[in-house]
Structure 1
Amino acid sequence: MEEITTTSWIVYGHERLLEMLPDWNPKRNELKLQQKNRRAGLAGEERVLEVVRSSGLPNDSMVLSDIRLQIIPGVTIQIDTLVLTPAIALIFETKQIAGRLRFVRNPAQLEKVEDNKIIQSMDCPAAQFEDQRASLETWLLMRGFSIPVGGSVVFTTNPIIETIPQGLPVIKLRELRRFIAQSLQFDPVMSRREVEMLANTIRSSHSPYIPFPLFGKYGFDPEKFDWGPRCDCGYLLDKTSEMTWSCRPCELNMIDPYVKTLLTWFLLRSKTITVKQFCMIFQCSRRTGVRVLNRLPLMRDGKARSTYYEIDYHQLDLFES
């Protein structure tokens, strides 16, 4: 079983963004709230994945997550979790909505209710799921794969749902294992090799959402920020030797803060960096800059003093190794 995921990097990048922003920045509170929702959504998706992995799937099944596929030019679908089995493909759309909920038809929407009053109306997740399911069926048929597509919306926060209309694809997290077991009671329509071919086709077609660098997205001026290495507490580190840095508030010494600092640069400021910029950030010699940059998973271009290094945002996971 394998996964495709970019959401965790988007969450990580916004953590670094909030770490850089001062308390007085007018956009900070809004971004902080968005990040809270983003973290909750990621946690919900991870809980669904944990249940899916422990649900006794056949050995010839594959699990993909955080997938974006282009149906036609300009139209894409985003799927939180996709389970591929020889009998059926299952979409699971994760929702982190707590409280008392009410499904309404005509028009289809979901209402959040408090003291019998509607406090929030939102698009119906079941209708969104049906659009995803139909779109994925179309995408598969266009590529020669004939397999039924099922699945459900999964609420991970155990809300109180007043009524779920019959046939609506909505379940709670505790019902997911049973739902998967029931969904697998069909005859296979694909071989193990065909499941692998389908998974490979999805991987090669996957079009991840890349919002980086974030400063450009939010309109921040990078020249007004200090790009030096920071402690996990957010405080700028002091350089005590060529290889050692210290955090005064935490009274901790750190060795090699390069990867985290460079990731912050790439995710927030620019997809490229020069040796000169590296040396300014780390207060080091050009020799050290070239040595460190050459050992990282970066593309090198240019010659002599005009050499620069570029990150491939599709291969961010290489930095974890």
Structure 2
Amino acid sequence: MNKKEVVLLSEAESLERLLYRLPENHPQRQFIQIELYRTAAGKRGEDRLERKFIEFSPEENHRFLRNICLTLGEWKIQMDGLLLTERGAIIVESKNISGQLYFDDKTGEFSRVDLDGVRTVMEDPTIQLNKHIRFLNKFFKRHKINFPIDGIVVFTSKNCEFMIKPATNYVCKTYQLVDYLFKILHTFPQEATHQNLAKIDKLLQKFHTPYKRQPLCQLYFIDADELKSGVLCVNCKKHTMVRKRKAGWICGQCHTVDPQALQQAIQEYFSLIHPQLSNQQLRKFCKLESPYTASRLLATFELETAGALRNRTYQLKKEQ
């Protein structure tokens, strides 16, 4: 029997599913709605950035890697993007920040003024970029790779305006990215030894340490018992899906049939509640009555198990 794959929902999907389960009067509800808006806007910005890279076509070989997570001892970093070319590497950090943006070289502060004229001092994204450059230099040196490294911060929001730009770092908007990448490439030594990009790519993949997402209830300090239980109907957005032996899962309110309803619910549990799931917890979360039925249903999914019988727990498959 081919088992069904279970993975975490995307961050935006997780926030959306959390909102469906939060009571209307929950004190965290408005905050979660803002988080969903920001996450969705950030994803749209990343998509625009992705499309812009299609226009980048230098004559030399190149590779663009996304979401690179590396570790040196206790030092961990996550780079949004890394462009590898034959002459050097360019770290690409994306930020979805709107408003008027100010980089003050005298004070070292980064701030933005929003549409209401409110000024907010924020963490300077060029500081993070510089840390990543230092990390990658050390990482390449440890693996005997002599490679020039630079970086750029790309602001993906359509509603941002640079009022003061930093003197020592590259920052740009999405539509300016390709021109800036070529500008940075021209600063790399022309006589630099051409590197084997496939070898470097393989090295980075070997030492890639996937980012571990924290379940949202743990992240936002929400008691899981406050959430609505049941299996969500994607049509009417009510937790009223019930299991029918022959027909699968059917909504008791709008009668929508969804064969993937339980799969989505289990993905919700791992995304919202906890990285481990038991038979009892599944029954409570999905309003299932029979331990035997829950056990048979869990056996249809591609999950890792630990323990036996009543103490058995289930978790997502680890990345190979």
State the TM-score, normalized to the length of structure 2.
0.81
Q: What is the alpha-carbon distance in structure 1 between the residues aligned to residue 143 and residue 217 of structure 2?
A: 38
- Determine which of 283, 286, 297 is the counterpart of 2:302: 297
CA contact (8 A) 1:94 1:153 kept: yes
Deviation at 1:288, TM superposition (A): 4.7
Q: Who is 1:180 aligned against?
A: 181
Kindly indicate whether residue 272 of structure 2 is the aligned counterpart of residue 265 of structure 1. no
Mind listing any 5+ residue stretches in structure 2 that lack a counterpart? Answer: 1-6
* CA contact 1:213–1:266 (8 Å) conserved in 2: yes
Aligned equivalents of 1:255, 1:123: Cα separation in 2: 45
Of 235-244 and 142-151, more deviation after overlay is shown by 235-244
Q: CA deviation at 1:114?
A: 6.7
1:44–1:115 Cα change, 3 Å: closer
| TM-score, length-scaled by structure 1 | 0.81
Count of residues in correspondence between the two structures: 307
* Aligned match of 2:42: 41
Asked whether the equivalents of residues 230 and 236 of structure 1 are also in contact (C-alpha less than 8 Å), the reply is: yes
Judging by fraction of residues, say which structure has more helix: 1
Paired position in structure 1 for 2:150: 150
Q: Contact 1:69/1:76 (CA < 8 Å) preserved in 2? A: yes
Per mean C-alpha deviation after superposition, the further-off stretch among 88-97 and 206-215 is 206-215
Q: CA RMSD in A?
A: 3.1
1:1-321 to 2 correspondences below 5 Å:
9-56=10-57, 60-73=61-74, 75-113=75-113, 119-158=119-158, 159-185=160-186, 186=190, 189-191=193-195, 194-232=196-234, 233-239=236-242, 241-242=244-245, 243-247=247-251, 250-279=254-283, 281=286, 283=288, 288-312=293-317, 314=319
CA distance in structure 2 between the aligned counterparts of 1:99 and 1:86, rounded to whole angstroms: 37
2: CA distance, partners of 1:32 / 1:133? 34
Give, in whole Å, the separation in 2 of the partners of 1:309 and 1:95.
Answer: 36
Shift of 1:299: 0.7
Instruction: State the identity %.
Output: 23
Give me the whole-angstrom Cα distance separating, in 1, the residues matched to 2:145 and 2:225. 51
- Aligned partners of 2:16, 2:256: CA distance in 1, in Å? 21
Contact in 1 for aligned 2:22/2:228 (Cα 8 Å): no
Does 1 or 2 have the higher relative contact order (CA < 8 Å, sep 6+)? 2
- Deviation, 1:190, is 4.1
**Which residue identity does 2:161 align to in structure 1?**
I
Return closer, same or farther for 1:165/1:302 CA change in 2, 3 Å cut-off.
closer
Q: What is the SS of the residue equivalent to 1:120?
A: strand
